[in-house]
Amino acid sequence: MNPSISLSNGTGPQAMAFGADDFSYGYPAGVTVVDVVPDSIRHLIHDHWSNYPPVNPMWHYLLGVVFIILFFFSCTGNGLVMYLIMNNKNLRTPTNMLVFNLAFSDFAMEITQYPPYIYNCFKGGVWMFSAFSCELYACLGAIFGLCSLWTLAFISFDRYNVIVNGVSSAPLTNGKVFAYLFFCWAYAIGWSIPPFFGWGAYIPEGILDSCSFDYLSRDANRRSYGLCIFAFDYVIPLLIIVLAYVFIVKAIFAHEKAMREQAKKMNVT
């Protein structure tokens, strides 16, 4: 980080609050968002961000407050779901194991993603940890996010099986649900670790207070990884979810139509 724009002196984000009038949001004119990041992570930052000035520090503080609130309610909600399922034997059904897994992966994402982000928001608004921490942060976010998405896909498929196929559907057994869960975690981990082995990359993103996939680089290596992630970990589970609920809605309308026709035959209004 350039000492002349250090966050600890009068030319940092606090400058505006101390009455400085020759700064843009507390930074010297001409400074870009890349200029205010620690030197330890500068090599990770894409050149794209050197075209933008630093964000008004008030936005970072506002985001920090918002994410503190989200952190509290998200952890409370998902924690309550896990507690109820673990402590009520009647709720420990195969279907609810999928719900438990969704709550767990979401809870894990909140625990690993929110605190560092909130810390960065109140410490100047840029990634304040090491380069490896940035990559690990992004990898954990990818693992838990992809696991949650695929869990939602399996929940949708289970609802489709029960509602559309009805009594003729094969029941969801413990063996099946554990196979589904193994797939969710193995698939998510398998697609999240390639950047550590040279395919794709994790870098600071946006206003540089968090890290994620490198979706800006145009070289074949990183673009191919991004396209594969998009296709196999977004498009496919999204299609499963959408198609499952399309068939569910069609089945509901067909059932309603059949009930109306049956009522007419029985002269019931």
Cα-Cα-Cα-Cα dihedral sign, residues 15, 18, 19, 25? positive
Q: Is residue 24 part of a domain?
A: no
Question: Are 34 and 127 within 8 A, CB to CB?
Answer: no
Q: Compute the average pLDDT of residues 223-245.
A: 96
CA distances from 160 to 10, 151, 153, 169 (A): 61, 14, 11, 10
Residue 215 has pLDDT above 50, yes or no: yes
Q: Compute the average pLDDT of residues 240-264.
A: 87
Q: Is residue 8 part of a domain?
A: no
Q: What is the CA radius of gyration of the chain?
A: 24
Q: Is residue 3 part of a domain?
A: no
Domain coverage including residue 217:
32-265
| DSSP code string of 202-215 | EEEETTTTEEEE--
Q: Compute the average pLDDT of residues 115-142.
A: 93
Q: Is residue 11 part of a domain?
A: no
Q: What percent of the chain has pLDDT over 70?
A: 89
Beta bridge partners of 27: 24
Q: Is residue 1 part of a domain?
A: no
* Whole-structure pTM value: 0.85
What integer pLDDT is reported at residue 269 of this predicted model?
54
Domain with residue 206: its CATH number is 1.20.1070.10
What integer pLDDT is reported at residue 257 of this predicted model?
80
Residue 16 has pLDDT above 60, yes or no: no
Count of structural domains, the chain: 1
Give the tens place of pLDDT for each residue, 86-103.
999 999 999 999 999 999
The one-letter amino acid code at 29 reads A
Residue 25 has pLDDT above 70, yes or no: no
Q: Is residue 217 part of a domain?
A: yes
Q: Is residue 98 part of a domain?
A: yes
Residue 211 has pLDDT above 90, yes or no: yes
Give the tens place of pLDDT for each residue, 129-166.
999 999 999 999 999 999 999 999 999 999 999 998 87
Q: Is residue 242 part of a domain?
A: yes
